[in-house]
Amino acid sequence: MRKIIHVDMDSFYAAIEQRDNPDLKGKPIAVGGSDKARGVIATASYEARKYGITSALATKVAKKKCPRLIIVPPRFSVYKDVSRQIKEVFYKYTDLVEPLSLDEAYLDVTENKLDMKSAILIARRIKEDIEKEVNLTASAGVSYNKFLAKVASDYNKPDGLTAILPEKAQSFMEDLPIEKFFGIGAATARKMHRLRIKKGIDLKRMSKLELGQHFGRSGQFYYDIVRGIDNREVNPDRPRKSVSEETTFAEDIVLEKEILSVLKKQCASLSDTLKKNNIQGKTFNLKVRFKNFETITRSKTIDFYTSDKKHIYTSIEKLYKALKNEREVRLLGVGMSNLDTELDGKQLSLDL
């Protein structure tokens, strides 16, 4: 099961304007074009949202809803800089980062650079790092797929942190009002209301066929997501630097035969992942953690790229044997770095 985090900054453009101009703090403001130039609102501060000011609303209409609304012209280069800074925070934890816009991204932290087990803890750290780095708040959602993580980040905005655990996903989705489903826009929500679909549970009562008849191909998507099914992968926007597999044992192991058999399985699985993603590598990495948590790593670089499981295992086996280890082992990991990332996703697989 994967661990996915979705991070979304709170009232992004407006929060930056309030951060940089103390006069705007605590006030209803909106970033956008002026009413005289037929402008529209890009986003509004949470103080302004109470008056019904939302993205894409005509500034003229917004001013009517809230006469003391302060309109601030956008400063896109500043927003881009902040966006770069928050991405650097994400990359501290994983290279599997898929930005959706300047202010939000999916992260796959199933394996992460800090070896942290709890995705909720990572999400909390990311929120703290962002606050420290750029002095703004973000909301985060944690779950086992993209859809649920996205719904979760939106659930308790601003400054929220919501996790949807696997055992809670069904009831969470059943209770969720359908307009809160990411991907169901206002028009679809109205159509669903006409069909008496108000919450996830109503959607769940519809068969795949019925949903298909009413909503076409999207119907199939709705059928899956209301059941917490979403197999989309996090597509990183920059090439991966390494791929790895690791296992922590319930009970420490010491027999070389047993250790080598685990490493062999890990190499096979690593080779599968590499092939599936069309990646090859030149550097093999072995990681061993002992009973006392002491961790060592060993690597070997060869002069050609490979994803072949025999090549990988031969090197890993040599690296392990060279340790002449006699201590109890609690974790084993194998990985490849120095990747031929030119291939990453760009070339068709040659599986025949």
Amino acid at 243: V
Binding mask 27-56 for ligand DCP (x = CB under 6 A): ---------------xx-----------xx
- Residue in 267, 262, 272 with CA at minimum distance from that of residue 284: 267
17, 98, 104, 111: which one is catalytic? 104
Among 4, 5, 9, 274, binds Mg ion (CB under 5 A): 9
The answer to whether residues 288 and 325 touch, using CB atoms and an 8 Å cutoff, is yes
- Residue in 98, 102, 74, 100 with CA at minimum distance from that of residue 86: 102
With respect to ligand DCP, which residue has the nearer C-beta, 56 or 186? 56
Q: Which does 42 bind (CB under 5 to 8 A by kind): ligand DCP, Mg ion, none?
A: ligand DCP
Residues shown for the chain: 352
Binding mask 80-109 for ligand DCP (x = CB under 6 A): ---------------------x-xx-----
Two tokens, residue 39? 């402008």
Judged by CB under 6 A, does residue 320 bind ligand DCP?
no
- Residue in 128, 129, 168, 133 with CA at minimum distance from that of residue 148: 168
The b/e string for 22-49 (b: 16+ C-beta within 10 A; e otherwise) is eebeeebbbbbbebeeebbbbbbbbbbb
- Residue in 328, 203, 306 with CA at minimum distance from that of residue 256: 328
Q: Is 104 a catalytic residue?
A: yes
Judged by CB under 6 A, does residue 136 bind ligand DCP?
no
Binding mask 141-160 for ligand DCP (x = CB under 6 A): ----------------xx--
With respect to Mg ion, which residue has the nearer C-beta, 8 or 108? 8
User: In the bound complex, what is the minimum distance in angstroms from residue 255's beta carbon to ligand DCP?
Assistant: 53
- Residue in 193, 273, 205, 216 with CA at minimum distance from that of residue 240: 273
Amino acid at 258: E
Pairing state of beta strands 161-163 and 138-143?
parallel
Judged by CB under 6 A, does residue 11 bind ligand DCP?
yes
Count the site residues for ligand DCP by CB under 6 A: 15
Judged by CB under 6 A, does residue 9 bind ligand DCP?
yes
- Residue in 56, 34, 33 with CA at minimum distance from that of residue 43: 56
With respect to ligand DCP, which residue has the nearer C-beta, 56 or 350? 56
3-class SS of residue 314 = helix
Among 17, 95, 103, 154, binds Mg ion (CB under 5 A): 103
Only one of the segments 99-107, 167-175, 226-234, 289-297 lies at the binding site for Mg ion (rule: CB under 5 A); that segment is: 99-107
With respect to Mg ion, which residue has the nearer C-beta, 140 or 270? 140
Integer Cα distance of 154 and 161 in angstroms: 9
List residues near ligand DCP by CB under 6 A: 8-13, 42-43, 55-56, 101, 103-104, 157-158
Which residues are part of the catalytic machinery?
A: 104
List residues near Mg ion by CB under 5 A: 8-9, 12, 103
